[in-house]
């Protein structure tokens, strides 16, 4: 597939795959140790095979998408998403913070956040110091962060998966969920970071894809499968 650049800035990129007219999924870049520049642009997507256009948001540093490209990128993303009858999002960790940003400008139908970050810096609650932050403009980042937290709660159906045994996960899940009107928070205790790691380590990422692309966001099978893996882990 040939990717289309919806936004191509110095610091942020938004690329689209597929041409399905009604359904859109938005995913996000992840934190990477020694991240230096953009990852290669995706040229295939399993979401397209499931009947969705796929928009992926990438950043060239571990800055939680908080850079001077953000206003222009959000405008471009909002304009692109407005043409779809149904928009959903799946996001992990730092990408979860990106989903909070985009949920301010896109009317999502449903959002699945996995161990999302609710802030970008260890200077703010819950003072999470696990991941090094690479912010070029601290004043801009702080102002953007404050604006996001002050925004109205999204109407999207939102489920937050987290691992209560991991430092900071519960606190992040609480704040991130509050950005939505009726969030569901599901504890995948022992899952790791992100909380679905037991599933992905056992080649069950397809369950996560199926949940977010279904007509209704139902994670009961994810919960049940996670519980089976945890039981086997304890036994073994």
Q: Which residue's structure tokens are 């599901």? A: 186
Average of per-residue pLDDT across 102-130: 95
Q: Is the peptide bond before 181 cis (omega within 30 degrees of 0)?
A: no
Tokens 């899952």, located at residue: 191
Encode pLDDT of 35-85 as tens digits. 989 999 989 999 999 999 999 999 999 999 999 999 999 999 999 999 899
C-alpha–C-alpha distance, residues 233 and 199, integer Å: 12
pTM of the model: 0.96
Domains of the chain are 4-185 (3.40.50.1820)
């Amino acid at each position: 597939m040939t990717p289309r650049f919806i936004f191509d800035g110095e610091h942020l990129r938004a690329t689209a795959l597929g041409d399905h007219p009604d359904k859109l999924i938005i995913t996000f870049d992840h934190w990477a140790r020694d991240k230096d520049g953009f990852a290669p642009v995706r040229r295939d997507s399993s979401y397209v095979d499931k009947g969705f256009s796929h928009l992926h948001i990438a950043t060239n540093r571990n800055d939680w998408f908080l850079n001077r490209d953000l206003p222009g990128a959000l405008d471009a993303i909002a304009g692109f998403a407005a043409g779809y009858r149904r928009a959903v999002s799946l996001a992990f960790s730092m990408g979860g913070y990106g989903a909070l940003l985009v949920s301010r400008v896109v009317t999502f139908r449903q959002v699945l956040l996995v161990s999302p970050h609710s802030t970008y810096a260890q200077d703010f609650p819950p003072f999470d110091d696990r991941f090094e932050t690479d912010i070029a403009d601290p004043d801009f980042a702080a102002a953007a962060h404050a604006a996001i937290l002050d925004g109205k709660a999204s109407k999207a159906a939102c489920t937050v998966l987290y691992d209560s045994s991991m430092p900071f996960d519960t606190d992040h899940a609480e704040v991130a969920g509050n950005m939505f009107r009726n969030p569901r928070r599901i504890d995948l205790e022992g899952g790791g970071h992100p909380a679905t790691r037991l599933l992905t380590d056992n080649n069950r990422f397809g369950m996560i894809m199926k949940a977010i692309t279904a007509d209704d966001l139902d994670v009961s099978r994810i919960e049940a499968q996670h519980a089976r893996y945890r039981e086997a882990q304890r036994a073994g």
